[in-house]
Structure formats: C-alpha cells, structure tokens
Structure 1
Amino acid sequence: MKFSVNMRNIIFVVCFLIIQVVQAQEFVILDAENKEPIPNVAIYNNDKSKTVISDLFGKADLGIFTANERIIFKHIGYQLKKTSKALLSRRENKTVYLTMNAEQLDEVVMSISKWEQQRKDIPQKITSIDAKSIAFTSPQTSADLLQNSGKVFVQKSQLGGGSPMIRGFATNRLLITVDGIRMNNAIFRGGNIQNIISIDPFTIKNTEVIFGPGSVIYGSDAIGGVMNFYTQTPQLAVGDSLRIKGNMDYRYSTANNENTLHADLNYGKRKWGLLTSVSYSDFGDLKMGKYGPESYLRNNYVVPSVSGDQLVVNPNPRKQVPSGYDQINVMQKVTYKPNNFWDLDMGLFYSETSDYSRYDRLIRPNKAGDGLRSAEWYYGPQKWFMANLQAEQKGKGKFYDGLKITNAYQHFEESRNDRGFQNPNLYSTAEKVDALSSNIDFENKRMGDFRLYYGGEYVFNKIHSDGSQKDIQTNEVMGSASRYPDGSTWQTLAGYFNLEYKLKPNMTILTGLRYSHVWINADFDTTYYGFPFQGANLSTGALTGSLGLSWLPKPDLQVTWNGSTGFRAPNIDDIGKIFDSEPGAVVVPNPDLQPEYAYNMEVGIQKNFKDKLVLKGAAFYTYLVDALVRRDYQFNGQDEIEYNGETSRVQAIQNAAKAYVYGFEFGMEAFFTENLSMQSNLTITEGIEEEEDGTDSPGRHVAPTFGDVHVIWKNQRFKADLFLAYNGEISNDNLAASEIGKGYIYELDANGNPYSPSWYTLNVRSQYELSSSLKLTASLENITNQRYRPYSSGITAAGTNLILGLGYHF
C-alpha cells in the first residue's frame, strides 16, 4: 500500500514536471510598440531543418529547438530577430518582441485592386495609416486622422467638418469608401463636404489613401485620389475556446472642452464572432490661438431672438461662438466562417451629430460692414446609416481563385437652416438619400506570371428634398423651393479588369480598363421658379484606363511610373441644385452637362539605405478637361434673380474650363538608434483653371505648400513625438477668384487685399504604457499659441491645446 502511494506521488511529480517543461517551451511573439500578438511568424534554425509558425495569438511552441540552437524569427513586416532558446528562457514572461521594419516594400495593400497585393508591385503612391498610428495621434475625427498623416491637406468651414484636398482636387472629385463601399452619393457637392466625420476613427483598422486617379477600380469621382477606410472585424477563437476582448477609451482636450468616450467588445467563437463599438463625443466652442491676425478674432456675435436679434460683444474674442456640437457613432459587426473557403461578414454603422453651426457663414459681414449678415446658419443633424453584407470565397472557383460579393444599403440625412439678421424668416432645406450598391469582384492568380482582377458594380441613388420657410415670430410655416429636384435618381453600371504582369522578378506591370455608364432622371418643380425646362435626363458613358510600371533594380530601391485617366459624371448636385453659393450669388440648375475627364502621369522613387534612412519622392501632372465649374449664367434670360429676399447674380455648374495641376511630394525616415528616429513630409502643388476664352486663374482646391518634421523617441513602454507642422502662404495673386469673394475669412496684405498667411505649430505627443492593459496618452498642440486659419477654412484653428487620453484593453 505504501509502495503504491509512493508510486502515485512519483507519477504525479513526473507528470507535473513534464507539464511545466511543455509549458516552458511555449512563447508569445508581440509587437514591440503596441504589445499586440503577431500571427504567422516563421521561426526556424540556421539550416531551416526545423520550422514553427506562430498562431493567431502569437503563440509558438519552441520545444523542437535545443537550448543553444540559433533561432531566427521572421515576419514580412518586422525586422529579423536572431537569438537562442537559452537566452529566451531567462525571461520570466516568455515573450519575444519584434520591431517593425523601417519601410517595408513587401507590405500588403488592398486599395489598388480590392485584393491583397504587395506594395512593391504598385506603381501608384499609396499611404497607409494603421490603428496603432491612429491610437497614438488620437484624432477627434477621421478628417483629423488624415491631416495628422502630414500628406493630406484638410479644410474646415466649421468645427463639425473637414474636407480633404489631394493633389489639387477636393470634395466630389475625391472618393471615400468604407470597407470597399463608396460613400460618395449623388448630392456630394463641389463645395466643401463634411461626410468624412461620420466615420468613427476608433473603429478603423487601416486607412489607405491612393494619390491620383482611381477610376479603373472605383469609377466616378476618383479623380484626385481615393480614401479607403477599413474598419475592425471580429476576431475568432482558436479551436473550441472563447475569445473575449475589448477596449475602453476616454479623451479630453482643452481647446474645445472635448469629452469623448469609447467602448468596444469582441466575442469570438471558432466559426463566428461579434464586434460591438460605441463612441460619443461632446465638443464645446473652439478657442483660437493668442498670436496672429487680429481679423480672425470673434469680436462680436449674434444672439438670436424672436423679439429681435442682438449683436453683442464677445467677452472672449478668441472663443468662436457658436462652434460646438456632439456626435454618436455605433458599429456592429458579425462574422461567420463556416469553413476555410468562405467568409461571411455583416456590418451595421450609424452616425449622428447634433445641429452644428456653419461658422464661416456666421462671421460674414453685412453690406454696410458694421454688423453681421446672418443671425442663424446651421446644419441640422448629419445622419448616416449603412448596412452591408459581404461574402468572400477563396480557392474553389473554376475561373477564379477569389470571389467577393458585396451588397450595401446607405441612408444619408442632412439639412441647412439660415436666417438673416433681423429677418423673421428661417429658410430650411432638408435632404435624404437612399443608396443601394452591389459589387462583384474576382481574383485569378493561376495564370503564370499574370494575375487578373475583374468585376462589376451597380449603384442606385434616390434623392428626397424638401424646402420650407418659417416665421419665427408667428411660427407660421410655408413651403419654399427645395435644394434638389425631389424624387430624382442617379445610377451607374460598370465593369472593369485590372491585370498584373510580372515581366521580371523585379519588374511588375499593372494595367486596367473600366467602362461606366451613368443615368440621371430629375423632374423640376416650377412652383417657385419658372424653369425653362421640365427636367433633366442624362445618359452618358466613360471609358477609363491605367498603365503603370514598378521596377526594383535593387532590393532597396524602387522606381515607379504610372499613367491613368479618371472621370466624374455629373450628379444631382451639379444638374439640379438651387443654393446660395456666396453673398449675392445663387446657383441654378443646368441640365446640359457632360462628364469631366482627367489625364494623369506620375513618377516615383524610393530608396532604403540599410534600414537607417528611407527617402521617397514623387512628381505628378494632371490635366482636367470639360471641368465642371461654377460660372455666371442666365436664368430665363436674366443675369440676376431674387433668392431668399435678396437680389443675386445667377450662376450654374458648367463644362466651362480646363485645369492642370502639378506638384512634388517628398518623404524621409531616418533611424538613428533603436529608440530615436525622424520623419518628414513635404507637399508642393501648383494648379491653374483655364477658361474657354483663354483667361486663367489659380485653382480653388490647390493647397499651399505644407509639411511636417517629427523627432520620435520610443522604447517598449513609452513613445514621444516632437514635431513641427508648416503651411506656406498663398498670396492674393495666387488666390482663386471664388476665394477672393470670401475675403472676410482671410487676412489682408499690405495693399488691403485678402491672402492666406503662412503659419507653423510646434507640438508634442506622448504615450505611456502603465501596464499591459492600461495606456495613457498626452499631447500638447500649438505650444507657441499661434493664431492661424488654414487655407480656405472658415474657422480658426485651435490655440494651445492639451489632449489627455486613457485607454484600457482587456
């Protein structure tokens, strides 16, 4: 009996020791910066006779390696790491940290073909912003997310907004997609648009920006560039386990007394998973800087009242009253993976703002120059809902290796409300857009050195538009002209192919074609305006193409060339809009429009000097013909009509100009030590619009020269970024005619003419990991408290701004 008990004890001890030894062989591989697990890391010895791959949680069993055997850790996006198991075993937490590569030409990108491609095979310039970078910069909105990259210029008419400018183009000449679904709808306008703030930066996994035309894959509007936002997806469990993880974040900023709360929760099983995300932000009135142009100060503002509007003195002229608003964003994702060949994903998105003032309209002076023109000018709640369902199959098709079917429904709501000073009539227009889209995309990579991508797209938009005017004294509501033809429709059907050809192992050709056909149907209401036409019916097509070359003469050198065309078909905003474009001018419908076309060429070079210095440069030239621009017009033979009680000059969107834009983009990354590095960006753009009579003027959306310089220090727990942001001057001679008409948002030069001054800011960001679950971020922006207003912006930027954030991960 005693012998039996002793044997059981011995067996128990031996089993316990075996378990400990087995557990001791398991290590987890983590990103050195964000401590996230790295899957698919190849781990092998010198002669590659032993190989292990890390799992989805970054775990790998190193039991096959001997204690003193040399072990190599390799991953496409990280620096090679060499060590031994003996050295690793000395670490109590059994972790291995990998550091990201300086600049990885083998990085995978999605935007060019909607399928994964190696960056080194792409002839176009693409910049990628991942979730780790977004968390560090802690942007208030997705517009700020792009601006923080240092490669995209962002204009703001008010705090609740942000309109990107890329290579001299903006608004409806840039395309926005979310998870591959176009957000641009039929009322995206040529004036500054704010839809990008509907995308919650907390939910973004990765953002890829294509510079230059992307019409072959994305169709109409992709002239200046494409901004692709890919959101987080549910993470599944390994085996029959349960994977539960989540994040909670809080952010506060002093410049506008911002309070933001965010929470998300991931629930994953082996075949299906759920991801729920909620964010809420409350932004107060924005406070501008102390040192800068006096003309930017908000010396007085209007207090609206039924009994009579009052112009009051602002006790704090640096406070931009009113500019605050609040916003909520909700996302629900569901993923189902029945086997290794199919993925089914459903996404639900909802975003809504409160009312928010259009600040640039509230600072317009009246004709006499002794007061303000508007008592009220505000947007109603901006609402966006999207439901999408995507099915993806890999490896089973007869004529393809990959198949994606994406169906989506979107609903947009927006409204405009304005009332003149001491005018009892509040004029309102409200718009709703229902958008349906269906995409089918194929990938075929079983063709030797060829890889083919092809597919089709159908998009349908229906617009609901209503106008009204309300007497705020009597509360009487009467009908008024709507902004757009109510019930109008816009639709497009398209097919495309994109071919990738490996001419040599170090040389890739990428070419493609797309044909798109667009239909518009709009019936005009003649109740309020005697239109000389009853409707607009447009049926037009566009053929676009691209041809590019990527050449790597050496593994650390890339040279690219790309030629492409892009187009933008007229939409409902172009053909059928009635609106107050600027003081004393009104835009009326024009049913005689055709698409505008862009022809683009760019060359690029990138050189990596032993992972210590990376230099990048690109030069581009774009020629736009039949440009859709706003110009003087006649309505029923008249140059002026009465609009909202004011005599206004008549204008309309017309195919009345040509334009050319050219420029240079530079980037640099320098790595001095393992902890210390430097990054810099510089963009120089020039552009001219040429009229039919041969006269020309500066391009409206050509941003000033802008750039930044960052000095970054980091270790495994702490990261700090000291950086300078810079914008150049746009003189009065280089200011677009439409901008000169808004002289009240600009400073005056020595001759009393409006111009956009240069400016700079000095800033510092930091992030500290208090524990593996808790992170603190702290930023101090505009340290020298500069008072500046970015080009074409109506609202002045924040002064010295302290931003604090706390994030908890579990």
Structure 2
Amino acid sequence: MIRFSLLVLIYTFAISSSSQTVQVRDTHTHQPLELVNIFSQSEQINTITNMKGQSDLQSFVNINDITFRLIGYETVTYSYNDLKNKGFKVLMEQIELSLDEVVVSATKWKQGRRETPAKISVLKPKEVNFLNPQTAADFIEMTGDVYIQKSQMGGGSPMIRGFATNRVLIAVDGVRMNNAIFRSGNIQNIISLDPFATNRAEVIFGPSSVIYGSDAIGGVMGFYSFDPIVSHEDKSILKANALTRYSSANNEKTGHFDFNLGFNKLASFTSISYSDYGDLKMGKNGPDEYLRPQYVERINNEDLIVNNNEPILQVPSAYNQLNLMQKFKYIPNEKWKFNYGFHYSSSSNIPRYDRLIMTDDDGKLLYGDWYYGPQQWLMNNINIKHSASNNFFDHLQIIAAHQYFEESRHNRKIHKENIKRRTEKVNAFSTNIDFEKQWKDGDKFFYGLEFIGNKVGSQGIEENLINNDTNPAASRYPDGSTWLSAAVYTSYLKHVNTKTNLQAGLRYNFVYLNADFDNSFYDFDFKDITINTGALTGSLGIIHTPSENWQLSSSLSTGFRAPNIDDVGKVFDSEPGAVVVPNPNLKPEYAINAEIGAAVVVVKKWKIDFAAYYTHLTNAMVRRDYQLNDHDSIMYDEEFSRVQAIQNAAKAFVYGIQAGIEYKWKSGLSASSRFNYQKGEEELDDGSFAPLRHAAPWFGTTHLSYEKNKVRVDLNAQYNGEVAYKNMPDSEIGKAYLYAKDANGNPYSPGWTTINFKAQYAFSQSTIVTAGVDNITDERYKTYSSGIAAPGRNYIVSLKLSL
C-alpha cells in the first residue's frame, strides 16, 4: 500500500511538473518560437524559451501577469490559471505595422530592425500565397523596391539601386548563389528558385560585402526556404498542401505539392513544383514597335519566315520548369540542430526572345535559332547550429554546400546549316563558420570565416543540322578555370544607451583566379591568366530610437566585386558587330555608400519609411573598346566585329530615394504605396559622364486592400517612368530594336501604368481559391531594358488544398 501511494505521488508530481512547461508557437506556421522573453513585472522574474519554444514556468505559479514578448510579435499577457486552461500552449501573432520586425540577412543571425541600420524589405509566405508570382523574379519584384528586367519570358534580372547582375548577390538558405560566371549582362539564375518552397525573402539594400563578400554592391537578396516542422511532442505531425494555377496570358499550367512529416526530434519537408508556360501575349494598347509580325520556323531543314496571325503573341517564348526540394531536420537536444537541404531545378530550352526579334539593315530577321539550353541548378547543403554559452560564443553556425550549375547557348544565323553550341558547367563549394556572442549589457559580437571554390567547365561545338556532323568550336570560357575566395569578417553591435545602437563591421577577402587559354581559335598574346587580389571592406551605422514608434538611422558602408572568370576570360558577342575578349589586367571594383533613413509608426495605423543614399563606384569594370594583337577588329562567328574587353576604365555614381507609406483601418481596409527614384551615371573615356545602364527609371506600386474573416481582396497599380532618348545609355541605344520610337524616330522606353485586381476566399482552413486580373486595361509595355513585352490582360485562378 505504501509502495502504491508513493507511485501515485511520483506520478502526480510528474504531471504537475510537465504542466508547468509552456510551449510557444507562431499562430500561422505553428513553428516553435525561440528566445521569447517571459516575465512578470509584479514579481520581477523572467525566463526565455529554448529552440523548441519551451520554457519552465515553475517559478510563475499563481502569478496573474505573465507576459510573453518577442520582436516582431504582438505582446500578450496571461495569468497562470489562463495558461493552465490553455494547456500551457501559447500562440503569438506577428505584428502587421511595427518597427520591431525580425530580420536575418543583415548578420546571418536573427536581429530586430532596431539593431541594423540597413534598409531591408521582407516578403512572407502570406504574400506569396495571395499574389501568386510565376517565378522567383516576379516574387522579389513584389517588394516594390526591386526592378526586374526580362530578355525572355524564362528570365528575370533584378536591378537594385542602379546595380544588377554580378553587382547584386543572391543567397539561398545562407549560401551564395553567385558563381564565377555570373556576368555583367542580364542574368536569369534567380528563376531557378521556387516561390512555393520559399518561406520568406529579405532584400538588403546597399553594399553588404562585410557579411557577403564579392558582388554585394547594390544589395543582397536572401531567400529562405521552408524548414521541416518538428512536433516536439509524442505525437507526429503531418501537413500537406496541393496547389494548381492557370494564367491566361501565357497559358500557364502549374502544379505544386508539399508535405511535412514531423516527429519529436526528426522532421522532413518535401516540395515539388512544375510549370508549363506557352507563348506570351502582350497587351493590345501600346507601341507598335513591340509587335511580332513575323517569326522563323524551320520546316524540312529550311528556314521559313512565317507571318504571325496574332502579332501580340510573342513567338517563340514558351518553356517549362521543374523544381524539387527535400529537407531534413534533426534536433537531438537543446544544444544542437542539424538541417540538410537538397534543391534541384531544371528548365526546358528557353528561347532568347530579344535575339530572335533582331533584324538586319533591311529589316529581315537575323537568327534562325537562338535559345538557352536547359538551365539546371542543384544544391546540397548542411546547416549545423550549436548553442553553448562560453567565453568565445553563445551560438555557432556552420553551413557547408555544394552547387552544380549548367547552362548552354545555341545560336544560328538564318538560312545557315551550322549551329554553335556552347555549354558551361560550374561546381561551386562553400563553407561558412559563423559565431555570435552576447554580453549581459546586450552588446553582440558576430564573427566568421568563409571559404569558396568554383571550378568552371566550358565546351564549344559546331553542329551541322543537315547531317549532324560536329566540329570543335571556341568555348565561351577557358575550360578548367578556377576561382577561389577566403575571408574573415566581424561585426559588433553596441548598445550605447536605451535609445541608441551602434553597429560596425570589417572584412578582409582574398581572391585567387586562374584560367588557361586554348589558342586554337584565337591568337591571344598570353597562355594563362592568374590574379591574386584582396579587398578590405567595412561598415559603420547608427540607429537611434527617440521613442517606441520612431527609428532614425545613418550609415557608411563599402563593397567590392573581384574579377571573376566571366570578366577575365570570356569571348562572346556583346552586341551585333562587337566581340568581347579576355583582359588579364583586371582589379577589383570598389564602392562606398552613404545613407540616411527614417521610419515611424503613428497610433498603430500609419507606417512611413524613407531612405536616401549615394553610392560611388571606383575602378568600375566596364566594357570598352580594346585591341587584340594591335587589331581593333577580328572575325567572330563569321562576322567582322570590333574588339572590346572588360576594363577598370571608369567610375560611376548612383543616388536616389526609397519611400513607403502604409495605413490600416480596424474595419479590415488597408492601403500602401512604395516609390523608388534613382539616377546613375558612369564615366566615359573622354571624361564625360553618361547614364548608367542598370539605373532603372522611377517606379512604384500602390495597393488598396480589404481582409476580413474568409475574404481578402486587393486593387493595385504598378507604374514606371519614361526613359527619354537623351537619357538612354549608349549600350541601350545600340539595341534600338528593343525599344519604341519617339516623335523623332529615336529609341526610348515609354512610361506605363497597370491596374491589377486579386481576390481570395477561404471556403475552409483547408480550401482556398484565389483569382484575379492583371493589367486590366491591356497595356502593351516593356520594363526598361527588356527584350520581351510584359503580359497583356491576364486572368489568373488558383486552388489550394491543405491537410
């Protein structure tokens, strides 16, 4: 009897003890929330949640004011009895209008907005589900602060503060996607990412080389894919989503499926997406120069020029794409967390539309074929996090990754039998080791190491389409080239007082490049190029919070871009009649940026933010006329072309403003608007200045929305300023076929406005229908520097089912 009573007592005590462990999760994602501050002002006690979102409340028994606070979430207060009635489970809601949002990209560790001077835009899953972007390029455009250029439908080249391509950086789950052949011309690697697998995206504006190294001059786009959800309980978790979508402008048919299986310490997340896009229709109202009156079709081994019965149909532009993602998470205890991620993306052939519409002086089409072969991207990465307070760090993170890239170019002049095929493959390896140390006064010290290695394979062949005979042809890059980078970096956050934070950072980066040239096709006066170079970058910023609703910031930051294989070693036709050749004498380009910003929230209804910046670029790597063996022109692909090369021949500057305003009514109505203006110029050989190629015209977006219960609707306008002929860069004037003509017959980029409408209805928690109409007025327009016209009136409908 005594033994039985003792067992009952032990069992009762165990139940009582377990009931005092609180579990805190996000209301929508149900992910555990770490570092939630739990405190009682009346009793002057506090604790925080661990990585499982759990904390022991034994010292809070019978207390009536237990407050839960986490940056970016609504603060909530309960009594101990309230928590007991809830089963010690707390759900926290993210704040809609706040200056306390959590960001990760600035230091690779979670921080509050009040701890970083950088301007950062954040996109969350809720916006992806509602706005339904077709590609990751369309997704990042939804920030309202990033401009997207498209040479073909299967593309999307982000422009940030006057910089683009290899002067902006893409990171996926903390791994840099930029590789040794990222070029200065428009790139479309961003479309390899799957919006349906993306949990959130952050855009850091301005130089961020202290944390991210080479290429982070204009900004950094950080994409974070969904993490597997661990149950942290005895029962397992099974969640699944299926989505299908149709868009009329390009006859899009998309299907997506994902599911999460979570156990106490182990979880898995699987995502599969497939999209098939037909030829894209442009709008009916706009410049006739954008129409597609004819196209080339190859029939019985002959190129025939076909009259287009529907000139608004951009033939050919169709392609398809498959995206796969598999992630595993393992949490053996509170100190260790292991994540493994596998990403794979592959497209079909993608027609290079901007080249296929090129004509000769007589107005006849130039190319019979010009397309990119399947764009493939594969990444394996492992992320290890360790929490252990000691003299050196509180948190440690190791990210090791391997990426494989494959792309190819296939082009043939009309009525020619031979097609040039050039294929590039890159194996990229990277390791980042990051540490975070926090002191009792709140100061934080971040430091880390980075190692990157790229190996480039490049082949060229010429194939006869009649008999399929092949012969070697010049490759785009030196085959077997290597690009290596090693860096050490640090950042310190100082809490000067309760209202002022100071952040400073420093990085030293070493870069090594080697390329061996095959002179079988070109008579270079060198056999190899070796570059050993380094760069020291820094940042200094101050964040002042006069009150809870105000934030002021200012910063100085530097960035650099080291020469890569594309800069040093490529041979390609940059434009009709011009060929770019290698230059062994390149050095890094260097940027310095000054910025001020302000943000305010008024009575929890209004939020206004503003940033002004100036960026100065020195040793700018630009394309200029050049000589090869004392010749200013050579034969390239059967055309006599003037010789050019990438050179440190210029300096450039960009200045501008970014501003936004949001308003929310209690009724569920909300309104927001974003506006961007930038002006950029680069120095020419004669010392004069000309417009910078990637400085976009002013652009913006305005939304009027309503959301209540099961309904959400949004009416928005997207708008874009004109680039007059006098403000066009010379490189764009040379591509007049892409542009409309002004009253004098000169190329220019017209301004435009589109009106768009989206609506969403949740029949239940598991069934959501979204529908909308983009470009309601059926405008015919192109975003600046684009080769393909944007979609005309576009009807979109999607159905999402959840389990």
Name the TM tier (shorter chain).
over 0.9
- Aligned partner of 1:647 in structure 2 is 640
- Aligned partner of 1:793 in structure 2 is 786
- Aligned partner of 1:681 in structure 2 is 674
Q: CA deviation at 1:378?
A: 0.2
Q: CA deviation at 1:471?
A: 1.4
Tell me whether 1:515 sits opposite 2:508 in the alignment: yes
Matches within 5 A, 1:576-587: 576-587=569-580
Q: What is the letter of the counterpart of residue 687 of structure 1?
A: G
Q: CA deviation at 1:103?
A: 2.5
Tell me whether 1:424 sits opposite 2:436 in the alignment: no
Residue deviations 1:78-124, cap 9 Å, x none? 44568999999999x99999764343222221111111111111101
Distance 1:602 1:54, change over 3 A: closer
Query: Which among 279, 287, 292 is matched to residue 286 of structure 2?
Result: 292
Matches within 5 A, 1:697-776: 697-776=690-769
Distance 1:395 1:422, change over 3 A: same
Q: What is the letter of the counterpart of residue 77 of structure 1?
A: G
- Aligned partner of 1:506 in structure 2 is 499
Q: CA deviation at 1:66?
A: 14
Q: What is the letter of the counterpart of residue 746 of structure 1?
A: Y
Residue deviations 1:702-733, cap 9 Å, x none? 00100011011001211111101000000111
Q: CA deviation at 1:238?
A: 2.1
Distance 1:252 1:38, change over 3 A: farther
Q: What is the letter of the counterpart of residue 105 of structure 1?
A: L
Worse overlay, 213-222 or 257-266? 257-266
Which whole-Å CA distance do the structure 1 matches of 2:698 and 2:462 have between them?
43
Which whole-Å CA distance do the structure 2 matches of 1:226 and 1:474 have between them?
48
Tell me whether 1:347 sits opposite 2:355 in the alignment: no
Which whole-Å CA distance do the structure 2 matches of 1:339 and 1:691 have between them?
60
Which whole-Å CA distance do the structure 2 matches of 1:753 and 1:598 have between them?
34
Residue deviations 1:645-702, cap 9 Å, x none? 1111111100011100000010100113340111100000000001243121100000
Distance 1:134 1:763, change over 3 A: same
Distance 1:710 1:82, change over 3 A: farther
Which whole-Å CA distance do the structure 1 matches of 2:606 and 2:330 have between them?
43
Q: What is the letter of the counterpart of residue 351 of structure 1?
A: S
- Aligned partner of 1:601 in structure 2 is 594
Which whole-Å CA distance do the structure 1 matches of 2:426 and 2:24 have between them?
49
Tell me whether 1:144 sits opposite 2:113 in the alignment: no
Residue deviations 1:338-390, cap 9 Å, x none? 11001111111110000010100000112322x11111100000000111112
- Aligned partner of 2:383 in structure 1 is 390
Distance 1:566 1:27, change over 3 A: closer
Which whole-Å CA distance do the structure 1 matches of 2:233 and 2:245 have between them?
37
Residues 435 and 462 in structure 1, CA contact (< 8 A), matched pair in contact too? yes
Distance 1:793 1:119, change over 3 A: same
SS in 1 for 2:281: coil
Which whole-Å CA distance do the structure 2 matches of 1:675 and 1:111 have between them?
31
Query: Which among 332, 338, 352 is matched to residue 338 of structure 1?
Result: 332
Q: What is the letter of the counterpart of residue 520 of structure 1?
A: L
Unaligned runs of 5+ in 1: 1-18
Q: What is the letter of the counterpart of residue 121 of structure 1?
A: E
Which whole-Å CA distance do the structure 2 matches of 1:527 and 1:80 have between them?
69
Residues 426 and 472 in structure 1, CA contact (< 8 A), matched pair in contact too? yes
Tell me whether 1:157 sits opposite 2:151 in the alignment: yes
Q: CA deviation at 1:304?
A: 2.1
SS in 1 for 2:439: strand
Tell me whether 1:777 sits opposite 2:759 in the alignment: no
Q: CA deviation at 1:55?
A: 11
Worse overlay, 267-276 or 490-499? 267-276
- Aligned partner of 2:185 in structure 1 is 191
Query: Which among 460, 463, 469 is matched to residue 467 of structure 1?
Result: 460
Query: Which among 182, 204, 225 is matched to residue 231 of structure 1?
Result: 225
Residue deviations 1:114-168, cap 9 Å, x none? 1111111110101111111111111111100011221100000001010000000
Matches within 5 A, 1:393-542: 393-446=386-439, 448-542=441-535
Matches within 5 A, 1:14-53: 31=27
Matches within 5 A, 1:560-575: 560-575=553-568
Distance 1:48 1:733, change over 3 A: farther
- Aligned partner of 1:130 in structure 2 is 124
Q: CA deviation at 1:805?
A: 1.0
Worse overlay, 302-311 or 260-269? 302-311
Residues 38 and 54 in structure 1, CA contact (< 8 A), matched pair in contact too? no
Which whole-Å CA distance do the structure 2 matches of 1:138 and 1:313 have between them?
34
Query: Which among 577, 582, 591 is matched to residue 589 of structure 1?
Result: 582
SS in 2 for 1:144: helix
Which whole-Å CA distance do the structure 2 matches of 1:337 and 1:200 have between them?
26
Which whole-Å CA distance do the structure 1 matches of 2:446 and 2:91 have between them?
37
Residue deviations 1:252-310, cap 9 Å, x none? 11111111111111111111111111111111111111100111111110002453211
Query: Which among 262, 266, 270 is matched to residue 256 of structure 2?
Result: 262
Q: CA deviation at 1:28?
A: 10
Distance 1:424 1:394, change over 3 A: same
Q: CA deviation at 1:802?
A: 1.0
- Aligned partner of 1:618 in structure 2 is 611
Q: What is the letter of the counterpart of residue 222 of structure 2?
A: N
Residues 766 and 778 in structure 1, CA contact (< 8 A), matched pair in contact too? yes
Q: What is the letter of the counterpart of residue 271 of structure 1?
A: K
Worse overlay, 427-436 or 126-135? 126-135
Q: CA deviation at 1:610?
A: 1.1
- Aligned partner of 1:9 in structure 2 is none
Q: What is the letter of the counterpart of residue 327 of structure 1?
A: Q
Distance 1:717 1:474, change over 3 A: same
Query: Which among 200, 206, 220 is matched to residue 206 of structure 1?
Result: 200
Worse overlay, 795-804 or 297-306? 297-306
Tell me whether 1:220 sits opposite 2:183 in the alignment: no
Q: CA deviation at 1:470?
A: 1.1
Which whole-Å CA distance do the structure 1 matches of 2:336 and 2:91 have between them?
33
Tell me whether 1:174 sits opposite 2:150 in the alignment: no
Residues 72 and 102 in structure 2, CA contact (< 8 A), matched pair in contact too? no
Which whole-Å CA distance do the structure 2 matches of 1:801 and 1:700 have between them?
30
Q: What is the letter of the counterpart of residue 190 of structure 1?
A: S
SS in 2 for 1:504: coil
Counting matched residue pairs gives 785
Tell me whether 1:547 sits opposite 2:540 in the alignment: yes
- Aligned partner of 2:97 in structure 1 is 103
- Aligned partner of 2:72 in structure 1 is 77
Which whole-Å CA distance do the structure 2 matches of 1:78 and 1:715 have between them?
20
Residues 122 and 143 in structure 2, CA contact (< 8 A), matched pair in contact too? no
Residues 678 and 710 in structure 1, CA contact (< 8 A), matched pair in contact too? yes
- Aligned partner of 1:6 in structure 2 is none
Which whole-Å CA distance do the structure 1 matches of 2:647 and 2:407 have between them?
25
Q: What is the letter of the counterpart of residue 205 of structure 1?
A: N
Percent identical across equivalent pairs?
48
Which whole-Å CA distance do the structure 2 matches of 1:514 and 1:668 have between them?
35
Residues 551 and 560 in structure 1, CA contact (< 8 A), matched pair in contact too? yes
SS in 2 for 1:304: strand
Which whole-Å CA distance do the structure 1 matches of 2:787 and 2:296 have between them?
17
SS in 1 for 2:755: strand
- Aligned partner of 1:117 in structure 2 is 111
Residue deviations 1:373-414, cap 9 Å, x none? 111100000000111112110124441111111111111000
